[in-house]
Structure 1
Amino acid sequence: MTSIAWSLVEVAARLLERNEREAVLGDLVETREGEWEGLLGILGLAVRRQLMLWKNWRPWLASFGLALPCSLLLMGFSLSISQTYQGLINSTLFKGSGIVLGPGCALLLCNVLLLVAWSWTGGFVMGSMSRRTVRVSIALSFAPCVFCLTRFHVESLSRFCLLLFLLPAAWGVRRGLQIARIRLRSAVVLAATITVLTIPAWSSNGSWIPNWALSWPAWYLVATASRSAASKEEKRWRIS
């Protein structure tokens, strides 16, 4: 087998699960099938495996109901926080050796906490809801980011202010891939805290729509944790 063709086969095999990848590569070596035929066969198998995953509703919700719309909303919220911070700094008054902050400091802190909480919960749900299609969800999250970065024209702000949500979101995705769900008590506290933090914006017309669009992952965690707790309690009841 030529090194270049076999390298392409090995790269394509990475699209498969580890156990299946090893079996397929072993079969190719034993049967001495042509490299290009083997490459096409692996790609076809990988496509079929991916299509089977999308028969379930979870990948669709994780990708098109969470990753894509929430990345757009979180970019807008990141920009709002950056503008609020800039206005707050410009209104800061220096009196002697002390600093008197302008109005809106408490609201800024509330918004920062909301951004972190929304980003983390969204990332966690995206990672835990459909782990095997998480790469598609990540790609759909980055697509609007790249689009908006290339068209950002606010001279007083860096274009990277749109990406304030990325670090907590990446943290959430990592945790979601590691564990399927969090404890019920933690989920309830997190969801309740997010809901309380959105209260100051309820008076604004139409703001409740993006707020609830970004808050539903937290309450989804409550629902999954509650269902898990109920299942464990039922098992204990049956054993006893």
Structure 2
Amino acid sequence: MVRLDWRVVEGAAGLLGCEDREAVLGDLVEAGEGAWRGLLDVLGLVVRRQTELWRSWRPWVAALGVALPFSFLLMGFSVSVSLGYRQVTLHGGWLGLAGRAVLLVVLAWASGFVVGSVSRRTLWVSVVATLSPCLFCLARFRIASLSRGCLLLFVLPAVLGVWWGLRGRTVGAGVGLMLALGVSMGMGLWGGWWGNWFLVWPVWYLVVLGRGDEKAYPRG
């Protein structure tokens, strides 16, 4: 088998878990399968594994309950913070802007944490579910006074949240409760549109996780 062909097969096998990946690649080497046959075998196994994962509620919550709707809401919140910055440079009101900015960071981080912790093995679907609305809105952004980049203020804290969730970390119940109460109060003061309240539930999810062992939460 040509070296490049092996790299293609190995790349496809990267979609599998560590144990499956090593076992499948070992079997292909022993069987002396050709590149195309090996690639089809690996992709077939990937499809079967992914189908099994989607029988659980976790990937549905991560992709369709958080990643997709939260992308639209967090982009709207990002634009609100950007518009608020322009206003305070003219009329003041830095406290309100700071409150909204902190809310944006915490809400984006918490949503990313839920995606990373609830369904790690279907993370790629959640990434697609996040990127699709972002690309759609970037292509249609028409606020002359703002750059398109203002839509993506939430991305970095969300990525950090995903990373935190993938590593199996959480926060203590006390810290989580203080954070959730603070965010809920902040939403009442600076949250704006009532639909933004939907963004709060991942923060309360942290409280639920914190009541048990820091590493004892469901993963997909």
- The answer to whether the superposition gives a TM-score over 0.5 is yes
Query: Taking every aligned residue pair, what percent have the same amino acid on both sides?
Result: 48
Alpha carbons 1:201, 1:208 under 8 Å: kept: no
Q: Secondary structure at the match of 1:198?
A: helix
Give per-residue Cα distances to partners, 1:179-220, cap 9 Å, x unaligned: 253211111111111001012257x6xx33322x10000111
Alignment of 1:1-240 (within 5 A): 1-91=1-91, 102=92, 104-201=93-190, 207-211=193-197, 213-226=198-211, 228=212
Indicate the residue corresponding to 1:236 in structure 2. Answer: none
Separation in 2 of the partners of 1:26 and 1:179? 29
Where structure 2 has 5 or more consecutive residues not aligned to the other structure, the ranges are none
Equivalent residue letter for 1:65: G
- TM-score of the aligned structures, taking structure 1 as reference length: 0.84
SS at match of 1:179: coil
Aligned to 1:237: none
Structure 1 residue 41: Cα displacement: 0.8
User: SS of the residue aligned with 1:174?
Assistant: helix
Letter in 2 for 1:165: F
Match of 1:235 in 2: none
Aligned residues: 214
Greater RCO, 1 or 2 (C-alpha within 8 Å, sep 6+): 2
Distance 2:187 2:160 in 1: 22
Native 8 Å contact 2:100 2:190 kept in 1: no
Larger Rg: 1
Q: Distance in 2 between matches of 1:82 and 1:30?
A: 58
Name the CA distance, whole Å, in 2 between partners of 1:76 and 1:21. 40
d(CA) in 2 for partners of 1:209, 1:87: 23
The normalised TM-score by structure 2 is 0.91
Q: Which runs of 5+ in 1 are unaligned?
A: 92-101, 233-240
The secondary structure found in structure 2 opposite 1:157 is coil
What letter corresponds to residue 200 of structure 2 in structure 1? S
Instruction: Kindly state the Cα deviation for residue 2 of structure 1 after the two structures are TM-superposed.
Output: 2.5
Conservation of the 8 A alpha-carbon contact between 1:128 and 1:177: yes
Q: Give the match for residue 94 of structure 1.
A: none
| C-alpha distance in 2 between matches for 1:27 and 1:51 | 22
Inter-partner Cα distance in structure 2 for 1:208 and 1:83: 18
* CA RMSD in angstroms, aligned pairs only: 1.7
Amino acid at match of 1:224: L
- Over residues 61-90 of structure 1, what are the superposed CA-to-partner deviations in whole Å (9 max), with x where a residue is unaligned? 111010110110010011011111111113
**Which deviates more, 144-153 or 173-182?**
173-182
3-state SS, counterpart of residue 30 of structure 2: helix
Aligned counterparts of 2:168 and 2:10: Cα–Cα separation in 1: 29
**What is the distance in 1 between the residues matched to 2:168 and 2:39?**
34
Post-superposition shift, 1:132?
Answer: 1.1
